[in-house]
């Protein structure tokens, strides 16, 4: 056997031993023997750099530096989960699901509605991409659309297979949670204490912090684990969540063996109760349970909201509660002028972190809690949730304490506050010159989801406003290097980045500009809808409230807000200046302009895999041409875009209902693209 062949054989052998040890928990060699073989492989690899393999078992040990974590787009977005905190809420969700599924009564073979219950691992989520059985990329969740590439560090986690076993789809993404087991966390803190280093707060923060360490040899030493819970692929090789977990295990992934298939609400309740009381026996932290509709076919029919799957629900365990003292209340002014009261508390440790502040939301909340200065309050914090004051221990109240008075005037600019009928929030109406509003608006405009101006962080905005260089977002576009030179904390490189970032932002599409203006209630989705409906800002300015309200997802509240914004003289001037600066204030989406509208009002189902486009691209095309995507075939379906490997049952159903099938080519021809 040549040395190269020996390398290949050893790699395969070590992958298998890894799998036996970490996944099957059934090793057939000792740790010592394993280490010997690994060393042997390392020596051979050093002598033969020509057969380097980024997925070799030797890549799990040793170092490697990542200077900057590149961001990359997720192939499929990483959604969040809806939460419920009581069985009542959970039952309501199940009722909603049943209703939704029954609505489509034309479904011919409605499979049984089962739920797969899993633990909600409390760590950092990760998306792993495999191609031809090899790990090629690992991304953090990031904002759900883009994540950071942490592949180098992920390879150090023993429960992430570098090369897969058995059968697997050619290309897929698998999602899981990176957790730091409790004992590893404690051991780590013990070492840090001995070394006089500051201690880590909790396993979750440590896990996500570790993923972003530059030195991957430290990652290797920390003992992170990866527990997988979801797979996304265009070629589904399973029909249920439960089956998927079993398949993932066979491929070499670590799945917790706690998942349980439940057939009734009672089953689900007892699963939840069991783990609520038993969670301390688990090797890692959990913050609840996730209940998922088991059948993939039903999941597809239920689909997603903008934020989360409709077919899954997290049940969060009751948060830990502690008592502390309310020292004072401060009032923060947001970019829209909304005033948020914040409780300043005696620092207290709750769920692993020290809490000093908690939002009190609005005046009603303060009144409801009947808060007095110096009160002893109940504080709750669980998982990701911001700490919350949930009550007052009245027995501890001093008789001379005074109730918290919500201020009449803005704490920043002293303008009398206003409160609209039916709204909980107080606002400072001084939009023009209230400092935090000015700063907040510009920060929002520059933020990633809006104009994404690199080179201007939140601090820089504060600085520029303080220096009197900008007062509104249009001022950004007349900044010059001369004006910026000499400002403390702004070096030449920063100035150049800043100006380049501003210049580059001029090519952002209209919808980003519109969202960036920060019109109250106009989020990303509404901005998109407005752009689609009106095309150009002039047409939007001419629109009546009724015309605005006629748009999907735009209710009276939003319509009025948009109308008022656009008809204010000040804003008209701002828009005019932005136009002069060269920003896009009309739709430049060439795809949209090219839209034939040929699918207007048509319901289309996409099935199988395609050659020229990904499934999501096909779905986008359908929407761009006026059609509506639906996930299940019914008598209302107008077309099915059928790719390779379309399921036989779907095909049969299409035939039975007489729904026309279009191939990828026919579809492309129909759209004339
Ligand atoms: P949240 O961050 O509260 O919206 O919850 C969503 C997150 O829960 C996901 O991004 C996952 O990282 C995490 N999670 C933990 N366990 C599971 C599980 N069994 N199934 C799905 N998501 C899970
Ligand atoms: Zn103010």
More reliable by pLDDT, 155 or 234: 155
In this model, does residue 92 exceed pLDDT 90? yes
Instruction: Pick the atom of ligand 1 nearest to 122's CA.
Output: 15
pLDDT of residue 103: 67
Tens digit of pLDDT for each residue in 180-223? Answer: 998 898 888 887 766 656 667 678 889 999 999 988 888 988 99
pLDDT of residue 197: 62
When pLDDT is averaged across residues 93-108 and rounded to a whole number, the result is 74
**Which ranges in 325-404 belong to alpha helices (H)?**
363-369
Dist CA 118 CA 649 (whole Å): 29
Dist CA 452 CA 446 (whole Å): 5
Distance 560 CA to ligand 1 centre (A): 37
In 3D space, the residue among 296, 172, 268, 279 whose CA is nearest the CA of residue 228 turns out to be: 172
Q: What is the 3-state composition of the chain as percent helix, strand, coil, each rounded to the nearest 5?
A: 40, 20, 40
Ligand 1 atom 7, closest CA: 80
What is the chain's alpha carbon radius of gyration, rounded to the nearest angstrom?
A: 28
Beta-strand ranges (E) seen in 462-580 are none
pLDDT of residue 420: 81
Instruction: Pick the atom of ligand 1 nearest to 118's CA.
Output: 19
Instruction: Count Cβ neighbours within 10 Å for each residue of 574-583 and write b for 16 or more, e otherwise.
Output: bbebbbebeb
More reliable by pLDDT, 279 or 422: 279
In this model, does residue 3 exceed pLDDT 60? yes
pLDDT of residue 538: 94
Q: Is the CB of 125 under 6 A from ligand 1?
A: yes
Ligand nearest to the CA of 285: 1
pLDDT of residue 151: 95
Ligand 1 site-directed mutation target among 314, 315, 381, 383, most atoms within 8 Å of CB: 314
pLDDT of residue 349: 79
Per DSSP, the three-state class of 575 is helix
Ligand nearest to the CA of 440: 2
Q: Is the CB of 384 under 6 A from ligand 1?
A: yes
pLDDT of residue 194: 65
Distance 333 CA to ligand 2 centre (A): 7
Ligand nearest to the CA of 412: 2
How far does CA 131 lie from the centroid of its chain? 24
Q: Is the CB of 120 under 6 A from ligand 1?
A: yes
Beta-carbon neighbour count of residue 52 at 10 Å? 11
311 φ/ψ angles, rounded to the nearest 5 degrees: -95, 5
Tens digit of pLDDT for each residue in 12-65? Answer: 999 999 999 888 888 888 888 888 899 999 999 999 999 999 999 998 876 677
DSSP structural state of residue 433: T
Q: Is the CB of 655 under 6 A from ligand 1?
A: no
Structure tokens at 464: 């520029």
N- to C-terminal Cα separation, the chain = 55
Average pLDDT, the chain: 89
Ligand 1 site-directed mutation target among 81, 204, 244, 282, most atoms within 8 Å of CB: 81
Q: Is the CB of 228 under 6 A from ligand 1?
A: no
- Domains observed in the chain: 3-60 (1.10.287.610), 83-316 (3.30.470.30), 320-429 (2.40.50.140), 435-505 (1.10.150.20), 510-588 (1.10.150.20), 599-671 (3.40.50.10190)
Instruction: Pick the atom of ligand 1 nearest to 80's CA.
Output: 4
In this model, does residue 85 exceed pLDDT 60? yes
Q: Is the CB of 177 under 6 A from ligand 1?
A: yes
Ligand 1 site-directed mutation target among 254, 255, 290, 381, most atoms within 8 Å of CB: 290
Tens digit of pLDDT for each residue in 356-412? Answer: 999 888 899 899 999 999 999 999 865 434 678 989 999 999 989 999 999 999 999
In this model, does residue 108 exceed pLDDT 60? no
Q: Residue 648: which pLDDT band, with cuts at 50, 70 and 90?
A: confident
Distance 306 CA to ligand 1 centre (A): 16
Residues 6+ apart with CB under 8 A from 401: 372, 373, 374, 375
Instruction: Pick the atom of ligand 1 nearest to 308's CA.
Output: 4
In this model, does residue 593 exceed pLDDT 60? no
Instruction: Pick the atom of ligand 1 nearest to 119's CA.
Output: 19
Beta-strand ranges (E) seen in 211-337 are 225-232, 260-262, 286-293, 312-316, 320-333
Active site residues: 120
Q: Is the CB of 81 under 6 A from ligand 1?
A: yes
Q: Residue 109: which pLDDT band, with cuts at 50, 70 and 90?
A: very low
Q: Residue 111: which pLDDT band, with cuts at 50, 70 and 90?
A: low
Instruction: Pick the atom of ligand 1 nearest to 259's CA.
Output: 19
Do residues 643 and 607 touch, judged by C-beta distance below 8 A? yes
Q: Is the CB of 663 under 6 A from ligand 1?
A: no
pLDDT of residue 74: 92
When pLDDT is averaged across residues 572-576 and rounded to a whole number, the result is 96
pLDDT of residue 430: 95
Ligand 1 atom 21, closest CA: 229
DSSP structural state of residue 65: B
In 3D space, the residue among 408, 383, 381, 398 whose CA is nearest the CA of residue 326 turns out to be: 398
When pLDDT is averaged across residues 604-620 and rounded to a whole number, the result is 85
Ligand 1 site-directed mutation target among 74, 76, 119, 125, most atoms within 8 Å of CB: 125
Distance 412 CA to ligand 2 centre (A): 5
Candidate from 96-110, 126-140, 266-280 with smallest mean pLDDT:
96-110
In this model, does residue 589 exceed pLDDT 80? no
Ligand 1 atom 23, closest CA: 120
In 3D space, the residue among 623, 665, 663 whose CA is nearest the CA of residue 646 turns out to be: 663
When pLDDT is averaged across residues 326-341 and rounded to a whole number, the result is 92
Q: Is the CB of 121 under 6 A from ligand 1?
A: yes
| Burial environment of residue 431 by CB neighbours within 10 A (0 to 12, 13 to 18, 19 or more) | middle
Ligand nearest to the CA of 431: 2
In this model, does residue 446 exceed pLDDT 70? yes
Ligand 1 atom 12, closest CA: 125
Dist CA 443 CA 461 (whole Å): 6
In 3D space, the residue among 522, 498, 434, 504 whose CA is nearest the CA of residue 471 turns out to be: 434
Q: Is the CB of 229 under 6 A from ligand 1?
A: yes
Distance 288 CA to ligand 1 centre (A): 9
Dist CA 497 CA 491 (whole Å): 10
When pLDDT is averaged across residues 562-569 and rounded to a whole number, the result is 95
| Strand order, beta sheet including 639-642 | 628-629, 603-607, 639-642, 661-662
Tens digit of pLDDT for each residue in 255-288? Answer: 999 999 998 899 999 999 999 888 878 889 898 9
More reliable by pLDDT, 551 or 25: 551
Per DSSP, the three-state class of 12 is helix
More reliable by pLDDT, 436 or 66: 436
Residue whose structure tokens are 């697997």: 168
Dist CA 580 CA 571 (whole Å): 14
Q: Ligand 2 is a single-atom ion; what residues have CB below 5 A from it?
A: 410, 412-413, 428, 430, 434
Dist CA 581 CA 61 (whole Å): 53
pLDDT of residue 195: 63
Beta-strand ranges (E) seen in 180-319 are 225-232, 260-262, 286-293, 312-316
Dihedral angle sign, alpha carbons of residues 211, 214, 216, 220: negative
Structure tokens at 356: 């000093």
Dist CA 28 CA 25 (whole Å): 10
Beta-strand ranges (E) seen in 155-282 are 171-179, 225-232, 260-262
pLDDT of residue 380: 83
Candidate from 71-80, 153-162, 309-318, 640-649 with smallest mean pLDDT:
640-649
Instruction: Pick the atom of ligand 1 nearest to 383's CA.
Output: 3
In this model, does residue 8 exceed pLDDT 90? yes
Ligand nearest to the CA of 260: 1
Ligand 1 atom 2, closest CA: 80
Dist CA 284 CA 275 (whole Å): 12
Provide, rounded to the nearest whole percent, the portion of the chain with pLDDT above 90.
57
Residues 6+ apart with CB under 8 A from 498: 455, 456, 460, 479, 484, 490
Tens digit of pLDDT for each residue in 511-540? Answer: 999 999 999 888 877 898 899 899 999 999
Do residues 287 and 123 touch, judged by C-beta distance below 8 A? no
When pLDDT is averaged across residues 124-139 and rounded to a whole number, the result is 96
């Amino acid at each position: 056997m040549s040395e190269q062949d020996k390398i290949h054989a050893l790699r395969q052998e070590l992958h298998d031993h890894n799998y036996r040890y970490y996944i099957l928990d059934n090793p057939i060699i000792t740790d010592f023997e394993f280490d010997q073989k690994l060393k042997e492989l390392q020596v051979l690899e050093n002598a033969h750099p020509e057969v380097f393999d980024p997925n070799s078992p030797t890549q799990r040990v040793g170092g490697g530096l990542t200077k900057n974590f590149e961001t990359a787009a997720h192939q499929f977005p990483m959604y969040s989960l809806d939460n419920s905190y009581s069985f009542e809420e959970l039952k309501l969700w199940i009722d909603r699901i049943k209703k939704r599924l029954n609505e489509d009564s034309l479904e011919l073979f409605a499979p049984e509605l089962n739920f797969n219950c899993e633990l909600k691992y409390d760590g950092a989520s990760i998306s792993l991409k495999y191609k031809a059985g090899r790990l090629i990329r690992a991304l953090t969740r990031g904002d759900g659309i883009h994540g950071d590439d942490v592949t180098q560090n992920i390879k150090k986690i023993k429960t992430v297979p570098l090369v897969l076993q058995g059968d697997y789809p050619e290309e897929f993404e698998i999602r899981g949670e990176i957790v730091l087991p409790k004992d590893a966390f404690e051991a780590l803190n013990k070492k840090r204490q001995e070394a006089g280093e500051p201690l880590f707060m909790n396993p979750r923060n440590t896990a996500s912090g570790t993923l972003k360490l530059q030195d991957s040899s430290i990652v290797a030493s920390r003992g992170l684990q990866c527990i997988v819970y979801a797979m996304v692929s265009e070629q589904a090789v399973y029909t249920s969540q439960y089956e998927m977990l079993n398949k993932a295990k066979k491929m070499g992934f670590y799945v917790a063996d706690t998942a349980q298939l439940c057939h009734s609400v009672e089953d689900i309740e007892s699963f939840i109760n069991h783990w609520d009381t038993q969670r301390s026996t688990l090797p890692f932290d959990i913050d609840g349970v996730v209940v998922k509709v088991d059948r993939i076919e039903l999941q597809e029919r239920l689909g997603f909201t903008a934020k989360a799957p409709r077919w899954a629900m997290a049940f969060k365990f009751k948060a830990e509660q502690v008592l502390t003292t309310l020292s004072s209340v401060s009032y923060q002014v947001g970019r829209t002028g909304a005033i948020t009261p914040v409780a300043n508390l005696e620092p207290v440790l709750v769920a692993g972190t020290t809490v000093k502040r908690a939002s009190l939301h609005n005046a009603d909340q303060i009144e409801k809690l009947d808060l007095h200065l110096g009160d002893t309050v109940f504080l709750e914090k669980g998982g990701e949730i911001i700490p919350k004051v949930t009550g007052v221990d009245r027995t501890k109240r001093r008789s001379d304490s005074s109730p918290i008075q919500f201020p009449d005037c803005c704490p920043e600019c002293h303008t009398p506050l206003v409160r609209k009928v039916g709204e909980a929030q107080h606002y400072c109406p001084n939009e023009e010159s209230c400092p935090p509003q000015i700063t907040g608006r510009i920060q929002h405009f520059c933020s990633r989801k809006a104009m994404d101006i690199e080179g201007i962080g939140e601090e820089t905005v504060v600085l520029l406003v303080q220096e009197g260089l900008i007062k509104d977002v249009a001022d950004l576009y007349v900044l010059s290097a001369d004006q910026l030179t000499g400002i403390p904390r702004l070096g030449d490189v920063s100035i150049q980045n800043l100006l380049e970032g501003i210049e580059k932002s001029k090519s952002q599409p209209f919808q980003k500009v519109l969202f960036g203006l920060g019109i109250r209630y106009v989020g990303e989705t509404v901005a998109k809808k407005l752009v689609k409906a009106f095309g150009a800002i002039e047409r939007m300015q001419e629109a009546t409230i009724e015309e605005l309200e006629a748009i999907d997802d735009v209710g009276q509240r939003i319509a009025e807000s948009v109308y008022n914004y656009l008809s204010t003289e000040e804003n008209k001037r701002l828009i005019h200046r932005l136009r002069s600066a060269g920003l896009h204030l009309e739709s430049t989406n060439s795809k949209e302009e090219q839209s034939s509208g040929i699918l207007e009002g048509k319901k289309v189902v996409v099935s199988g895999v395609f050659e020229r486009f990904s499934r999501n691209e096909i779905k986008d095309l359908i929407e761009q041409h006026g059609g509506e995507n639906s996930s299940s075939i019914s008598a209302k379906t107008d077309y099915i875009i059928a790719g390779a490997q379309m399921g036989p049952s779907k095909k049969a159903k299409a035939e039975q209902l007489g729904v026309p099938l279009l191939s990828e080519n026919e579809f492309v021809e129909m759209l004339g693209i």
